[in-house]
Amino acid sequence: MAASKKSSFIYSAVRTPVGAFQGTLSPLSAPELGAAAVREALRRSRVRDDQIEEVILGNVISAGIGQAPARQAALKSGLPESIGATTVNKVCGSGLKAVILADQMIRLQEADFVVAGGMESMSQAPYLLPQMRGGKKLGNAQIVDSLIHDGLWDPHEDRHMGQLCERIARDRCYSREHQDAYALRSYTRALTAHETGAFDQEIVEVPVNHRGKTGVVRVDEQPFAEDLDQIPFMNPVFEKNSGTITKGNGAKINDGAAALVIGKESRNLTPLARIIGYAGHAQAPGEFGLAPAQAVEKALERCRLTVKDIDLFELNEAFAVVSLTLNDLLDLDPEKVNVNGGSIAL
């Protein structure tokens, strides 16, 4: 394989099943889920434990998990105590940022092999009592949901991210029907992927004790939990009277983890892929749903590629309106985007 000596390669890619909110994976903490993914990624890569020099894992809702979540996952996976670990929080981009950091370490020759990925247990996100530290002397106290406050609430506009996307839907004239149609396509593709075994090679089964019963989780829960016939009739979540975003056409609240083993070129190992480039982009917080399009354009430009050169796109389906926006701004072929479904279904 012809490549620069400083290129990095992906030697394995593993994820747990995605558990529904308060579903079968809810008893497991984010580090426990992360450990399951890390352990299996290492096994499949054939990279020895003592060759790993860093574990980098994204995690957004860290309240209550305990000190150094990525370090917990690394040690729970069985890796030696001598291996360092770093936790990254870039909200929805946390896991991908972890992969970028790993790639940079390999290219800079600071490490030969790194484990990178992400982990989250939204089911275990705690409630917070922010007024208690100083001692609440009189009156009612507020309880804050860390899942929303730390994960889904924009502190700059002081609004839920779903409310910001309602504004995008209005500005770009995306109807409720348009968004529901996209969501149904995501679900249909995810269900087909399960039926055809498209996910079999990437999922690691996870043993769990849930509600007094011990079992093994092997498949994603969410695609099978939704009644697709009801999606057109679901109530808006963020704007009760005129809103278009529902729980059916937005990304779900879930539990799960994923891990990659990334490293330098090795004659003794067979890579899945070579990382050739990446890019990021930021703009006004209220327009976060538009930013990925600029990131894609930057990445393509850096790699001297065009949209037409790409065979498959995997784009985060934060909300159907975000996905529709990206598809339109980039003029993507829908048959090349999230062919096995996306965050809305999974």
315 occurs within a structural domain:
yes
Domain assignment present for residue 2? The answer is no
**Which pLDDT score is estimated for 299?**
98
Q: 134 in a domain, yes or no?
A: no
What torsion do the CA atoms of 133, 137, 138, 140 make, to the nearest 10 degrees? 10
Q: For the whole model, what pTM was predicted?
A: 0.95
Residue 57 near residue 116, CB atoms below 8 Å: yes
Q: Give the closest residue to 309 by CA, choosing from 326, 295, 296, 318.
A: 296
Q: Residue 13: name the closest of 190, 257, 210, 223 by CA.
A: 257
CA distance readout (Å), 261 to 57, 73, 245, 326: 12, 15, 37, 29
d(CA 179, CA 177): 5
In the block, which residue shows the tokens 């992906």? 10
What's the pLDDT score for residue 135? 86
Establish if 149 belongs to a structural domain: no
Tell whether 294 is covered by a domain.
yes
Q: Is residue 259 part of a domain?
A: yes
CA neighbours closer than 13 Å in the CB half-sphere of residue 339: 9
| pLDDT of amino acid 4 | 45
Q: Are 117 and 52 in contact (CB under 8 A)?
A: no
- Tally of domains in the chain: 1
Structure confidence at residue 211 (pLDDT)? 80
- Average pLDDT per 10 consecutive residues for the chain, totaling 346 residues: 68 98 97 99 98 98 98 98 98 98 98 98 97 88 96 96 97 97 98 97 94 90 94 96 96 97 96 97 94 97 98 97 97 97 96
57: tokens are 């894992």
Q: For residue 279, what are the domain limits? A: 8-125+160-336
> Which pLDDT does position 131 carry in this prediction?
87
Token digits of residue 206: 């996870």
Choose among 252, 70, 291: nearest CA to 147.
252
Residue 32 lies in a domain: yes
Question: Does some domain include residue 131?
Answer: no
The whole-angstrom separation of Cα 213 and Cα 345 is 26
Domain CATH code at residue 270: 3.40.47.10
